[in-house]
Amino acid sequence: MTAAHIEIDRLTKRFGAFTAVDNISFTVRAGEVLGFLGPNGAGKSTTMKMLAGFVTPTAGTARIMGEDVVERPVAAKRHLGFLPEGAPTYPEMTVQGFLAFTARARGYRGTEAADRVHDAMRATSLEEVRLQPIETLSKGFKRRVGLAQSLLHDPPVLVLDEPTDGLDPNQKHEVRNLIARMAPSKAMIISTHILEEVGAVCTRAIVIARGRVVADATPAELSSRGRDLDAVFRDLTREAA
């Protein structure tokens, strides 16, 4: 058995006296799409930011493809595609210019870089707006630019913080299809507030509340614990609070 693509190892983050993430451990293997659920402020984004090497953990660590995100951040980040919360992008850049920048930052040059940018734009249906400044785009397009950036280098590990937030139903459907297409070869963590999404795209769901894992099961298992997934989610997160 090979090591898991993502290993989260006793990860803890404290901000002063407040513990945002409290000793969380889990692993994600290739082919798994992990739905990361929890109420606002439960520590989802902080966990993802620590995994992406943006926030330094107070204790514990995480490994991406065996590379420690604290000890060897650059090596770990090479294997990672990350969509930060809110899909931030540089507003004055064109879609193509922005993606070319991330391609360069990932070490691609010349025609290979151009091909990567082209493929990423095709996968996220951005070709029609490729020469527009990002600030002139609608919210749905902006989110897809962020998504394109995260999968440009075809990473084995994808961490997406609310990838479908702000998209219309058609766009949500497209993004879910995209995730499903990529799923077999990658380890993915997707945070979301939309519980129906978990059943649609995830093979496994983790619920966290107050910085702790309160459930780790398949979506079907989880919803069978109560009337439906919504009810189970409310029960789990209320108990912890």
Partner 1 sequence: MGGTLTVARRELASYFATPVAYVFIVIFLVMSGTLTFTLGGFFARGTADLQPFFSFVPWLFLFLVPAITMRLWAEERRLGTIELLLTLPIAQWQAVLGKFLAAWAFCAIALALTFPLVITVNILGDPDNGVIAAGYLGCLMVAGAYLAVGAAISALTKNQVIAFVLAVAVCFLFAATGSPVVTEFLSRNTPALAEIARGLSLTDRLAAFSRGVISLRDVVFFASFIGVWLFANAVAVDLRKAD
Binding site for partner 1 (CB under 8 A): 49, 52-56, 73-75, 77-78, 80, 82, 84-86, 88-93, 97, 101-102, 104-107, 133, 146, 149
- Least distance to partner 1, CB of residue 110, Å: 13
* Minimum CB distance to partner 1 smaller for 77 or for 116: 77
Q: How far is the CB of 219 from partner 1 (least distance, A)?
A: 28
Question: What is the side-by-side order of every strand in the sheet holding 67-68?
Answer: 18-28, 6-15, 59-64, 67-68
Which of residues 17 and 241 has its CB atom nearest to partner 1 in the complex?
17
Q: Which is nearer to partner 1, 12 or 149 (CB)?
A: 149
* Cβ partners under 8 Å of residue 117, min gap 6: 96, 99, 100, 103, 152
Beta carbon of residue 192, minimum distance to partner 1 (angstroms, whole number): 18
Tokens of 129: 């707006």
Q: Which is nearer to partner 1, 64 or 232 (CB)?
A: 64
Distance of closest approach, residue 98 Cβ to partner 1, in angstroms: 9
Continuous H helices in the chain? 44-51, 73-78, 95-105, 110-123, 139-151, 169-182, 195-201, 219-224, 229-240
Alpha carbon 126 to its chain's center: 20
CB distance 209 to 202 below 8 Å:
no
